Structure formats: structure tokens, C-alpha cells
Structure 1
């Protein structure tokens, strides 16, 4: 059974005349007859019966007609939806990003992009998660574009640095380190229990590497995945933590201290799957991001 057979069947069912249906379909009558005979053989039943000079549906043909029409309707809807999503003048962009980018970076970047392309009809689907989840979704084609940390051993993924994040030490208000407004060393920070990111976070290997370079083993008291939750734990004296300088920190009962980390820069990357097809509007967004980079 193929799509043409379904289309021919529905047309003939409504017109009830082989010659007229063949003319409507712009095919020969023998071609239409052959298609219907083949369809009936495949279904193992008669769909049409002679009625005067024309034909009418058998009761089995009437049953099959409902399903054939519904199948064609759903297929037509799928065609229109796909064209809408991947057209030259509009579509949908599935964007995934890490938690730290959700309050300012992504809203500002996407807002600027939409304002720069007001002539286009573009919608964004947003997903927030950790780097490992995001990269898995990117490879499964759940997302078109991702903003996250770089991960090792990901040959399918192309990483492009697009922004930097400032790492700071966050401590509860009035902590013994709070007076060191000019900066805190890793050695000084390591004297206190730490709230760390979980191992699934893209920031965890970054922070692990900082301590490894300094040959320091921190005391990890708690692990958590998301930045604002980490800040909340620190505000309630569960420990201190190294994390990006995100806006929510200004609303909590914490002190934000600079870290003495010479020559260290924490990058955020745009991640794309190599050799995956990108609709025109996704390509426009990728180029816009690339042109907006100012590291």
C-alpha cells in the first residue's frame, strides 16, 4: 500500500465513477483500476461494487474510507507543520542551555535576535539542564543549538566559545572570609567545608581542575546540580562554594568575594552536532550568535 493508492481510493470513493476520478487525478483509467485492484488484493476484500455506470463503496470500503481520510489528513497536517518549522521565513528553534545562563544571557541574546529579525516568524522552545543532559539531547536531535560547558571525548559535538563567566567565592553573610574584599585564594577557601556541583555538572570538572592544579583536596560537604540551589544552601550556612557570579546572588544572604585565580577564564560554549541538518532559521540564529561573540 502506498500514498498514491490512498489518494486514488478517497477520490474514487467520493466521485463514484472511474472515468471522472481518473480525469480528476490526471491519470489513465486503467492505471486507476489497477491501483484499486492491487489495494483490494492487499486488504483481502472488495472496496467497490458496480452501481449503474459508476461504482459505490461496499460496507468494508466505507469503513476503510474513514481511516484513509484520517491518514491523509494527519499526513497533510504533518507536511504543513514541517514546512512551518523549517521554512525560509519562519520556524521553531529548540534551544537548550545551562542554569547559569537563564536569568540574563539567554533572554538578552534571544531577545536581540528576534528584534533583529522582526520580519521572520520564529518561535523558541527553551530547555534548561546540566551539560551532560543537554549534550545527550543534542545528539538525539531534541535540540538544535545548546549553550553549555565543554565536555571531553565528544567527537560528534562542535564547541565554539561564546562567552565567559566570572567565578566567585560565595560565603554566608558575616563569614570569617567576608572581610577579604580584595580576593580569596584557593588555599584560604579550602579551609572551610565546600558546597560543590554534582559530577554531572559541566562546572564540576572546571572546579576540580582548579583545586588539582593548586594541589589541594577540598572538604566537600554537599553536592548539588543547580546554581541558585547551591547559593541557597550557602546562605543557610551549609558551607561555602565556588560558582559563577549570577544575579540571584544579590538577593540572598551571602557575600560574594573575588577569587585569586591568575590567568583563569571560565568559558561558555555554543554546542552543535556535526553533520546535523539545520533549518534556515536555525542557521540564521547560529550565525547571529557567532557574529555576537566578543570574548
Structure 2
């Protein structure tokens, strides 16, 4: 069994198509087919079955795919550790984060870190709360910013790096747009623009509204802070967003007002696998981040 066979097998499993896998691997389709055939002969099982124009993993193929995926990721980490041992300042950091941190925070901290380690590479992955947890556990990312901080979890560990206030955002012509502060209950009759299910800000806003004595009426849902902010600015409803998501990125902007009853906040944490050893360069980045947020 050769490493190349496993790499080709995993790519075909991901693409569910030999031609598309070959194109991404930059090899001939016949080479991929031949390697898959040899692998199946060596194992004595069929790893794929035809489903229309695509290929689908057989049950034993699914089992084998999980092991191969884990094996190749571990191999990648081992190679990275060797490179980092030879030159700790030229490694790659794989980091996950929710969309709400991507506009300002992530570019800021990466730019500052690269002033000290200019040759370090970054691989970024945005995701929802459950997908970020999954990416950390699977080894897809080394570190992940996550909100809210997961608290007690045997599989991931980390630190709360900041607590952030959420503001009410309103159309510019809203009667409350000129206020300095409002009580959340003042929005009980409004239509809300909320994040879709799976996004961590949704339950934070929902629970805050319930605490204020009402259930929010949902007019629209979205998956990005720019979408939420834009819909509110266009008069489609009101919402709550963390301060970090309110940096202006386009001319159409909603009004933002501080909420005092109840004060609405979210915790942002930096997590990694409890049983996983971080690569040297990721450990350096984590130390940098903890210091960065302590002095802010």
C-alpha cells in the first residue's frame, strides 16, 4: 500500500468523482483509476460504488476513509513538526473563527503577529459554533476562536480572551435611533433580523429578549454580520450585534444604541484539543494572543 494510493483514494472520496479528483490532483484520470483499483485489489474489497455519474463510498469504504483521513492529517502534522524543528518561525498556523470576528479582529492580530514572525503562514477557516468545535476535534484547525466559550468540555480546553458588549442596531429613521441608551423591552414590538440556526449569536439575542420579557418576532435570518447589518440599515427590522461587528464596511449603515436592561454580552474564547499537542508555531501564536488580550 502506497501513500499516493491513500491520497488519491481520499480525494476521490471527497469529490465523489474520478475526473474531478484527477483535475485537483493535476494527474491523469487513468492514473487515479489505476491506483484506486490496485488499492481495492490489495484490500480485497470494493471501496466505491456507482451512483449515477458519481461515485459513493461503500460502507467499508466509509470506515476506511475515516481512518485514512486521520492518518494523512497526522502525517501532515508530523511533517510540519519536522519543518518547525528546523525553523520554528516558518511554520503554518491553522485557525478557525466565527464570521463576526473576521472583519476586524483576525486581520488585526495576524498583522501584528507577523511583525514578529514575518515568515509564518496562516490557514483560515470560518464556521459556526458546532463546526468550529468539530474542526478542533478533527485536527482540521490547531486553534479556534469561539463564542460563547464552551465552559466545561472534556474534549476541548482554552481561555476566555474577551467579553464583548452587544448593541442594538436600528434603521437610521427609527424613533429610537437618536437615543444614547435603551432598554431591550422597548424593541418588543419590532421585527428582528437574526442569525440563522447554528450561529452562536442567535441564542444570545434570543435569551436576552426572553429575559426582557418577550419573544423576538423574526422577519429575516442571515449567516453574516454584513447581511444582518445591511438588512437593518435597509429598514427590514432591528437586531443586536457585538461591537466588533459594527465596523463600517459599506455606506449603508444602521444606527447603534447601547442596551442597559439587560446588558447583553458574549464571551469569546480561544480553544484547542485537550489531548492534542499544539505545533510549536501554534503555541507561540497562542502565547502571543493571550498576552495581546491581557493588555487590551
TM-score band, normalised by shorter chain:
0.5 to 0.7
TM-score, with length taken from structure 1: 0.67
Match of 1:40 in 2: none
2:67 — aligned with what?
A: none
Q: What are the within-5 Å matches in structure 2 for residues 126-165 of structure 1? A: 126-149=124-147, 150-151=149-150, 154-165=153-164
The answer to whether structure 1 residue 183 and structure 2 residue 203 are counterparts is no
Q: CA 1:222–1:155 in 2, change beyond 3 Å: closer, same or farther?
A: farther
Residues 275/284 of structure 1: CA separation in 2 closer, same or farther (3 Å cut): same
- Give the direction of change, closer, same or farther, for the CA distance of 1:79–1:290 in structure 2 (3 Å limit): closer
- Give runs of aligned pairs for residues 222-237 of structure 1, distance below 5 A: 222-237=220-235
Q: 1:78 to 1:275 in 2, by over 3 A?
A: closer
Displacement of 1:262 in angstroms is: 5.0
- 1:199 shift after superposition: 2.3
State the alpha-carbon separation in 1 of the partners of residues 163 and 270 from structure 2. Answer: 12
Q: 1:132 deviation in Å?
A: 1.8
Query: In structure 2, what is the Cα distance between the partners aligned to 1:168 and 1:280?
Result: 38
Shift of residue 280, structure 1, vs aligned partner: 0.7
Distance 1:112 1:240, change over 3 A: same
What displacement does 1:152 show? 6.4
* CA-to-aligned-CA distance 1:239-286 (integer Å, 9 cap, x gap): 111112321367324211111245543221111111112111111111
Give the Cα separation in 1 of the matches to 2:164 and 2:105: 10
Q: 2:60 maps to what in 1?
A: none
Could you say which residue in structure 2 is the equivalent of 1:167?
A: 166
TM-score normalised over the length of structure 2: 0.66
Aligned counterparts of 1:86 and 1:138: Cα–Cα separation in 2: 23
Deviation of the 1:170 alpha carbon = 1.1
Where does structure 2 lack aligned partners over 5 or more consecutive residues?
4-41, 43-75
Deviates more, 1:77-86 or 1:218-227: 77-86
User: Aligned pair in 2 of structure 1 residues 128, 214: CA closer, same or farther (>3 Å)?
Assistant: same
Structure showing greater radius of gyration is: 1
Deviation at residue 293 of structure 1 after TM alignment: 2.0
Q: Output one character per residue of 1:73-99: Cα deviation in whole Å (capped at 9) or x when no partner.
A: xxxx99866633665342110011111
Conserved in 2, the CA contact under 8 Å of 1:86 and 1:92? no
| Aligned residue runs from structure 1 range 172-251, under 5 A | 172-179=171-178, 181-245=179-243, 246-248=246-248, 251=251
How much does 1:177 deviate?
1.9
Secondary structure, counterpart of 1:260 in structure 2 = strand
Instruction: Name the SS for the 2:181 alignment partner.
Output: coil
Mapped contact 2:163–2:265 kept (Cα < 8 A): yes
Change in CA separation of 1:182 and 1:78 when aligned onto 2, cut-off 3 Å: closer
